[in-house]
């Protein structure tokens, strides 16, 4: 019965079971044919419990070095802690200390996604802002599409979980499990829609116009007065199905042409207030990392969330346009955020 260094996982389980049955350490050693000292050592270590981690003191960083780190973090967005400290010629600092120091002066953030703006885009954005600077935006119908998936955007299924609680199980599916394409519009304090694009339909010029005919024109526009139709300005972005010759001619036959059809600058989702409405709806339907099991269920969630958006919220969005135009001019056509 020679002495061995380590107990196997199976042997450890048996020791725990034998102890629960009231067996002594000597008897357990005989049953497992292991050295008595090995069994006693395992029992003693188990009874002592896990030792608490002792926090080691941080390496002292001088005030001058802290200023250098702060400047480097400002000049090197999205850089790692190691790269920031190396640029300051500060060596010998462990990762935990680097991160602890940076947490006092910076945050871990993802890069913001935005469309690329070249010189031509900026000039067109400025021309657009000057053209519509005196427009009554309460008469503009802002429209756009949004795709919602069963799983929601990546990274949204995060939140605080109490100590001792397990994180809920989250399904993994290809491409977010599929999705639903939604169209809607906002004007003054009113929400138009939302309307669901039929599953499997790819929006080209013909299908887009047919969709508008079946939803927007039949269910909303026809009910409006002649004076309303005369003053309303229709806004849509420059998606191929929107800006094609076919769609433009079709809208013209519906009376939406010339000054009644707003021109739109390229790469400018930040100027469309309905993008903020999509954010409100997505935050509601995907809160607490919620997932859906069918396309109908996620569509029902979109409809319910849209109903909860009151007129004051929509009015705040549409009334923000004057400020957006001034921001575009102040930034010389640059991106203004949302």
Helix-strand-coil split of the chain, %, nearest 5: 50, 10, 40
Query: Do 25 and 83 reside in the same domain of the chain?
Result: no
The pLDDT confidence band at residue 117, using thresholds 50, 70 and 90, is: confident
Number of C-beta neighbours around residue 67 at 10 A? 11
210-262: per-residue pLDDT in tens?
999 999 999 999 999 999 999 999 999 999 999 999 999 999 999 999 999 99
Query: Do 149 and 70 reside in the same domain of the chain?
Result: no
How far is residue 133's CA from residue 16's CA, in Å, rounded to a whole number? Answer: 79
Which strands, in side-by-side order, build the sheet including 140-149? 190-196, 179-187, 140-149, 233-235
Range of the domain at 95: 63-105
Q: Are 257 and 284 in contact (CB under 8 A)?
A: no
Closest Cα partner for 314 from 59, 117, 126, 141? 141
- The number of distinct structural domains making up the chain is 3
Both structure tokens of 250: 């079709």
Q: What is the pLDDT of residue 180?
A: 93
Query: Do 35 and 85 reside in the same domain of the chain?
Result: no
Q: What is the pLDDT of residue 100?
A: 86
78-95: per-residue pLDDT in tens?
888 898 999 999 988 888
Query: Do 18 and 123 reside in the same domain of the chain?
Result: no
Cα-based distances in Å from 181 to 82, 119, 122, 167, 282: 43, 32, 30, 31, 13
Lowest mean pLDDT among 30-34, 48-52, 72-76, 190-194: 48-52
Residue 299 falls within a domain, yes or no? yes
Query: Do 192 and 257 reside in the same domain of the chain?
Result: yes
Query: Do 20 and 74 reside in the same domain of the chain?
Result: no
Site of tokens 């000054």: 259
Residue 3 falls within a domain, yes or no? no
Give the torsion sign (CA, 109, 115, 120, 125): negative
Q: Nearest 10 degrees: CA dihedral of 119, 122, 124, 125?
A: 170
Query: Do 101 and 227 reside in the same domain of the chain?
Result: no
Residue 161 falls within a domain, yes or no? no
Residue 77 falls within a domain, yes or no? yes
Lowest mean pLDDT among 93-97, 113-117, 224-228, 311-315: 113-117
Residue 56 falls within a domain, yes or no? no
Residue 170 falls within a domain, yes or no? no
Query: Do 96 and 141 reside in the same domain of the chain?
Result: no
Query: Do 208 and 264 reside in the same domain of the chain?
Result: yes
Q: Quick one: average pLDDT of 130-147?
A: 95
**Among residues of the chain, what percentage have pLDDT more than 90?**
53
Burial of 60 (0-12, 13-18, 19+ CB in 10 A): exposed
Lowest mean pLDDT among 115-129, 152-166, 186-200: 152-166
CATH number at residue 197: 3.30.420.10
Both structure tokens of 100: 């602890």
How far is residue 286's CA from residue 176's CA, in Å, rounded to a whole number? Answer: 13
Query: Do 36 and 82 reside in the same domain of the chain?
Result: no
Residue 171 falls within a domain, yes or no? no
41-63: per-residue pLDDT in tens?
888 887 665 556 666 666 678 88
Q: Quick one: average pLDDT of 173-197?
A: 88
Residue 202 falls within a domain, yes or no? yes
Query: Do 292 and 148 reside in the same domain of the chain?
Result: yes
Query: Do 91 and 203 reside in the same domain of the chain?
Result: no
């Amino acid at each position: 019965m020679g002495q061995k260094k380590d107990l196997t996982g199976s042997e450890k389980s048996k020791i725990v079971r034998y102890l629960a049955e009231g067996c002594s350490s000597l008897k357990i050693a005989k049953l497992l044919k292991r050295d008595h000292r090995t069994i006693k050592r395992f029992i003693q270590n188990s009874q002592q419990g896990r030792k608490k981690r002792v926090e080691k003191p941080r390496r002292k960083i001088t005030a001058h070095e802290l200023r250098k780190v702060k400047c480097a973090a400002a000049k090197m967005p999205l850089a790692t802690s190691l790269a920031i400290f190396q640029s300051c010629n500060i060596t010998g600092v462990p990762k935990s200390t680097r991160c602890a120091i940076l947490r006092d002066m910076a945050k871990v953030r993802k890069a913001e996604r935005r469309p690329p703006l070249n010189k031509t885009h900026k000039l067109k954005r400025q021309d657009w802002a000057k053209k519509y600077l005196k427009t009554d935006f309460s008469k503009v119908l802002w429209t756009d599409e949004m795709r919602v998936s069963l799983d929601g955007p990546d990274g949204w299924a995060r939140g605080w979980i109490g100590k001792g609680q397990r994180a809920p199980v989250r399904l993994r599916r290809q491409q977010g499990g599929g999705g639903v394409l939604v169209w809607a519009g906002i004007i003054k304090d009113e929400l138009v829609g939302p309307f669901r694009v039929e599953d499997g339909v790819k929006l080209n010029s013909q299908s887009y116009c047919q969709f508008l005919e079946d939803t927007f024109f039949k269910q909303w526009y026809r009910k409006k007065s002649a004076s309303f139709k005369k003053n309303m300005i229709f806004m849509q972005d420059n998606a191929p199905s929107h800006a094609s010759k076919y769609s433009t001619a079709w809208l013209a036959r519906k009376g939406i042409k010339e000054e009644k059809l707003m021109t739109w600058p390229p790469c400018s989702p930040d100027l469309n207030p309905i993008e903020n409405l999509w954010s409100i709806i997505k935050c509601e339907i995907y809160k607490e990392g919620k997932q859906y099991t069918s396309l109908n269920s996620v569509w029902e969630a979109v409809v319910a969330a849209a109903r909860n958006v009151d007129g004051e919220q929509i009015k705040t969005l549409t009334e923000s346009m004057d400020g957006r135009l001034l921001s575009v001019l102040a930034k010389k056509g640059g991106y203004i955020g949302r």
